Structure 1
């Protein structure tokens, strides 16, 4: 990761910086546990659905550092995350590597490639950039954090697709969610042109095809 944040913006009195983490980012092993800590704190506050399948709970692989490390090591995997800075120090950048405190990280989206060999997407695509898990700190919701991160995610997925195959006209991104547990996320996705693909063990997979 570069020493300087990739961009900065204000949400009220809060300075937010957009960052990307890959397995090739210097110091990524020091940064990743802080993002995982935020994820666990967010999802531990969400009541578990008593009838949910194990994959729908955060007490499984979603909360495992080893699993996060494994997925981040996949070719093309990355995490876009936002950090909160004091307004007076926004022009002062920490040295590289940057191990932010867990409370400084306010939002993230974890993306990695996913294959759909058994059941292709409605577009007949068999590979997508998949949003595995995402979260925003509760006190900063409704301030556009997720919108901002997803714009960067889409830009990264487009760039990777263009680099790998110049003849393609679009590339898919997928996500799975449980509407009964995450109704706000469900509504957010449908309002932004995500289309339902299929139901998967109680979860709903949606896709969005990005023009290249």
Structure 2
């Protein structure tokens, strides 16, 4: 049976009203879940009738729903996630197979309960890089490692970061120097920046510092 335009409009208003009530009463994660799932809802077609020429046509009900979330809003969401449950790290790693014996490694890590594993997958899809893994302690993590990948990610979310903006700016400076760390002086400068990030991070105890790198470089005959 074909529904009239009046009945269609009435049903659309009722549907919109129910969605608004669900968003107002939903918990934060539930509300966010509804927003992120909006663009993945299956299409439904409603058959209606044009009153002017009495021709039937199809209305895509997806057009009546909330518009897809803008990418800038998703980047702001990801920045808030990283501010709250993320970690921006720069590690000085000893490498015996390296000529200068040290390497600086930068990374972004986001932690979340495995119950909300889908949020980490959504973040991975947003940045189009990184790895997601489930740990044995009921937690999961999303990790981006490497100068180019970290630089691309941080550049996109930097305007929205608040708590970790200082660490992000330092990581971007390190990322710019990484391709030139075969030079002993630049390596030492990069390690000094990693020390500054360590002072801003409440993470695990660090093993290597720029002072140790400086001593090693001098023992190898480099004037630093």
Question: TM-score interval w.r.t. the shorter chain?
Answer: under 0.3
**TM-score between the two structures when normalised by the length of structure 1:** 0.23
| Larger RCO (CA under 8 A, 6+ residues apart) | 1
**TM-score between the two structures when normalised by the length of structure 2:** 0.22
Q: Indicate the structure (1 or 2) with the bigger Cα radius of gyration.
A: 2
